[in-house]
Amino acid sequence: MLLQIRNLKILPQSVIETEYVLFGLDRSTPSPRLVILSKTEEDAFLSQWEGEKELWEGHSLLLGPTNAKHAKLLRTYFPWLCPQPVGLRTSAGLGDRLGLATPGHIRAIRATGERLMPVLAQQSIREMSRTQRTPQQVMDDALWGVFGEGWKKGFGSDADHLKTLEDFDACISAGFNGFTLDPGDHVENEAENLPSEILASRFETLPWDKLEISPKDFLRRYRDRTFSVENGKIRIEEEKVARTGVKYGHAIAQVKEWFYYLTEKMGGKPFDLEISVDETESPTSPEEHLIIVLELSRLGVKWQGLAPRFIGRFEKGVDYIGDLEAFRKEFALHASIAREFGPYKLSLHSGSDKFSIYPIVAEETQGLVHLKTAGTSYLEALRTIAELDPVFFRSIYAFACERYETDRASYHVSAELGKAPEPKKLSDTQLLRLLDDFHARQILHVTFGSVVTAQSPHGRFQFRDRLLELLNTHLDRYTEHVESHFIRHLKPFAEVAQSG
């Protein structure tokens, strides 16, 4: 019935029919609208919704905004619009910096067999700050994408890279039930190179009360021990125990504190927990990985995912940089530890566009893995903009070049401005190639926050309004780009997906 209403473009897959009411999403205008059709002229049900109301062939019709109030109401009626804990199911985090990529993400999940659990409400606190979005906006944008696509098979949430209790509270309030803890600020990176006497002093002054163990007992647990795992043996020498304790001791204590805070705040509701130590200066060795998880387990922490820093370079927006055989050999040990001492999933952070290692990661984890992506969906948005309005895209790229040296500071990137194509020297056709150029791609990737929040001299957004207008007007094209790009990401993992 909804599809018969003239002048509306109801997405067929969005239609929900209850005994008395029909719901759907209209895309006839640049801004999507919620459509509710009551099967009678009695509109008492519609009184709780906002929007324009009229009679249509004896029925009450409402056209309303896709706002936070309506998102909250829809969740009360349709539980599948709420995120759920993912557990150990093979999963993919599909971050969305602009709030429009979810339809493409869902279609990629469908195209790869619907075997992966999508984590659709995902954004780091750092990204929220840079794009001026709130946890509630991230959650609601995911809901409208799920609603519009008619996806009823579940999705997860990930309040990513949390570092403060205030951020925990905001994300819990927004409905998140997946959390990634980032204790990176508490990791002592210099521990690996400290002289022995300084190392010993640092070791003795670790927060042993919070770690609930004495220095002697900590050493006794690990020194000169050999642990057998599926892909080999891991021998831990005494000095390695001390260096690992100094490097990660404060971080382990902090994770313990955060875990119990979350447990209390969630009030018995189930939640996913991931622990991230990937944003450190040096890789996480198998020995360090082993000690970290054994200590967390001893302290009663329960988690579903761990993100070590793996060897090689995981730079933003480009493929893995490093020796693939060396990566496979060490990654196999990490995967064995996760199976033997968990089980828990290994999480691949900065996972976008790492096509060369996906088969290795999928095979070695046997599906016990989480792929985390974010900025690559933004790059597909820019690809769409370059097709639709080359002049506008050229201005975005020129601005990104101006901002790059500042914005790159908190990211692992190696792009050089001097090696990137100059905006003025490119034809409109050549502009599209920027999205496949190593240097230009990273420049565009890490400057997203500056681009979407840049102010014009008149106090308006310089780029964001036009960017969102174009994408909303041509959402089908953007969705096609996202779907095609993510099929490449997801296919290797779908082939080994675990559903447990």
pLDDT in tens, the chain (500 residues): 788 888 899 999 999 999 889 999 999 998 999 999 997 766 678 999 999 999 898 889 999 999 999 999 999 999 999 999 999 999 999 999 999 999 999 999 999 999 999 999 999 999 999 999 999 999 999 999 999 999 999 999 999 999 999 999 999 999 999 999 999 999 999 999 999 999 999 999 999 999 999 999 999 999 999 999 998 899 999 999 999 999 999 999 999 999 999 999 999 999 999 999 998 889 999 999 999 999 999 999 999 999 999 999 999 999 999 999 999 999 999 999 999 999 999 999 999 999 999 999 999 999 999 999 999 999 999 999 999 999 999 999 999 999 999 999 988 899 999 999 999 899 998 999 999 999 999 999 999 999 999 998 888 899 999 999 999 999 999 999 999 999 999 999 999 997 75
Is residue 112 within 8 Å of residue 494, measured between CB atoms?
yes
DSSP-assigned beta bridge partners for residue 475: none
476 is catalytic: no
3-state secondary structure 327-347: HHHHHHHHHHHHHHCCCCEEE
Q: What local confidence, expressed as pLDDT, does residue 222 receive?
A: 98
Q: What local confidence, expressed as pLDDT, does residue 456 receive?
A: 87
SS3 488: helix
CA 90 to chain centroid: 14
Nearest-angstrom CA–CA distance, 297 and 213:
13
The one catalytic residue in 140, 272, 274, 380 is 274
Nearest-angstrom CA–CA distance, 76 and 22:
16
436 is catalytic: no
Give 337-378 pLDDT, tens digit per residue: 999 999 999 999 999 999 999 999 999 999 999 999 999 999
SS3 95: coil
The one catalytic residue in 160, 167, 287, 315 is 160
Select 79-189+219-376's CATH number: 3.40.710.10, 3.20.20.70, 3.40.50.2000, 3.40.50.1580.
3.20.20.70
Q: What local confidence, expressed as pLDDT, does residue 500 receive?
A: 57
Nearest-angstrom CA–CA distance, 485 and 381:
11
Residues 6+ apart with CB under 8 A from 9: 26, 27, 28
Q: Cis link prior to 85 (omega < 30° from 0)?
A: no
Nearest-angstrom CA–CA distance, 461 and 347:
35
CA 18 → CA 23, 37, 58, distances in Å? 8, 10, 18
Angle in degrees, CA 81, 470, 392, rounded to 5: 140
Q: What local confidence, expressed as pLDDT, does residue 282 receive?
A: 92
Closest CA to 371 of 195, 263, 497: 497
SS3 88: coil
Is residue 211 within 8 Å of residue 249, measured between CB atoms?
yes
Please give the radius of gyration of the chain, using alpha carbons only, rounded to the nearest integer: 24
Is residue 236 within 8 Å of residue 287, measured between CB atoms?
yes
Q: What local confidence, expressed as pLDDT, does residue 5 receive?
A: 86
H-only helix segments in 208-237: 208-211, 215-222
Nearest-angstrom CA–CA distance, 24 and 446:
36
Is residue 407 within 8 Å of residue 450, measured between CB atoms?
yes
Q: How much is the mean pLDDT over the chain?
A: 96
% of the chain beyond a pLDDT of 90: 91
Is residue 66 within 8 Å of residue 144, measured between CB atoms?
yes
Is residue 271 within 8 Å of residue 156, measured between CB atoms?
no
Residue extents of the structural domains in the chain: 2-65, 79-189+219-376, 382-483
The verdict on pTM exceeding 0.85 is: yes
Give 396-436 pLDDT, tens digit per residue: 999 999 999 999 998 889 999 999 999 989 999 899 999 99
Is residue 290 within 8 Å of residue 236, measured between CB atoms?
yes
Nearest-angstrom CA–CA distance, 418 and 111:
40
